[in-house]
Structure 1
Amino acid sequence: LIFESYLSLKYGISLDEGTNYFNSKGEKIWDYEQNRDYGKHITGIGKDTLTGLNQKQSKNIEEDGVSIGLGKVFSTNSKNKAILDNNDFLIWGDNGESFHFKESENLNFLKTNRIWKVNTLSSTSKKFTVQILFDKNKLSKKSNGFDDFYRDYWLAIDSTNSGNFNTNNAKLVRGVLNEKNEIVFQDVKLNSNSSYLFTLVKLNSKSNAILKTDLSDMTKLTESLTDTQVTIYPNPTKTNEFVNIDLKLNNESRVNVEIIDVGGRIIRTRELGTVKNLLLKEIFQVSGTYVIQVNINGAIKSYKVIVN
């Protein structure tokens, strides 16, 4: 199965369910029995000099909506200049469930039914830094409404290797929607010779929890960001009229503001630096529904603005 494993990883074609994957030395790099619950859409990246494999990014030929690349996902593998050491592998599969969102153990969040498992293999103790893309068009249509997207998508990663995904044990990485309608998770760091479970989550619309960026612990994501600190007016407003974003903070804080359109695309970013009290004015030239996201020291809150 060495040659079949090579072809599978190179072209994103999963082998028959129940099949193990091997490198050119005959060493098992994906054990079906150990990963039985995640045996769908098996895909991977890796380097094996004896077979000529040097796959730095991949997605499954079945177009399951997920792409993973070392460093970054480019339009082609040849354009990805990241470096893999010989016999480095990242191989992943999923549980085959749907992309529907449902309430999780942590009631502040909704998560998809689909869960992925990724195994990393290396002869060194280095970390792999990857970019993970999700095709937003693959998500349930019920999850694509405006009320859902403006609360952000997050990648929840469980590294406890317990076999079952537990939201309360997970870390978070915030996603950004790009021009291709892909949810992009950048700089995801994975230890070598480790196993991870990951899934998509978003803030429950019934919850007032505030998400914190960059691998924050999900059990601590209820930190308060009160509306008295941020006031946005007038709302609704009119085209070509000022909208005021009034910041009155208790302490000097690092503040970024993003404005997002109804398609989920960031149309404007304001990096305000360290501020305490500030009045920011913005103008919308096109009518519609927008979201103003205010990031204060990593705590994020979203405000919907109607422009008539």
Structure 2
Amino acid sequence: MVYLTNYYKLIEEHNKALLIQFLYFISFIVIITAVFIFENKILAFFLGKSVGLILMLILVKIFKLDIIKFKPIYLDLEEWKKIINLFSVSVLGWLSGLGFMNLAKLYADPENLVTIGYILNIWNFFLLISTGINSVYNPLIKKYILQDKFIKAKASKNNVLLIYIAVSFLVLCAYYAINFTGILESYSKVDEVYSVLPYTILIFLISAFYYVIHPFYLANDKFGVFNRINIVSHLLWGSFILVLTYLDLKNYIWFLVFLYFFKCVSLYVYAQIKLMR
């Protein structure tokens, strides 16, 4: 499914890429349904995920989106470097989500851990928004840079960043409006989950700087630089967290926010200095 999504992005058939990404929502719905049906939540998750993926693959066949011809090739040194860089970025990306959750399990108190779980689950909805925007934005930036239309590329970056800021602001306003009505107070569990929304909005807003600058690294063939900055930012974050832990500050919710801040802002600042000329 990931391969198909990226394939259709590369050949600029974005409607098909968006359709495949939309199908992921089916898996999410099946998981939620299974959670209500089965008492064993671990079973519910994996069964729901599996059934959801099978339904997705069936729909891919029905919509004739599948590709059945694969050709093995031998990779040269440069391609291996790209694979290693991609693997490194993927692992560090995992650390920003489920990886962080596993780290928090070792040291965070139970209340902190539950809140982080809520934040990461709500974050999935924001990922759908960013995926939709980036599916159009990323190829557009690459196209502008390859055509030497750099002013248009910068203008698009600023416009999309404003869209992300506007979305964050509107969701935050909606949060306070619903909170003011008090309609969720009767549903304690829902209200508990809903209360972490500002943290998720903050992470989404910080991530916007990552989203708008990421295609500039790719279009300028600077993915190796991207990976090195990513590694350094995570090392700085790790050092920062060790210092805070030594000072007996162990709020893992803010540790998660700091992780996104170090990663996203460092990549954005470097690109502004080096790639925006």
| Higher strand proportion | 1
Higher relative contact order (CA 8 A, sep 6+): 2
TM-score range, shorter chain: under 0.3
Q: Which has the higher helix share?
A: 2
TM-score by length of 1: 0.23
- Higher Rg: 1
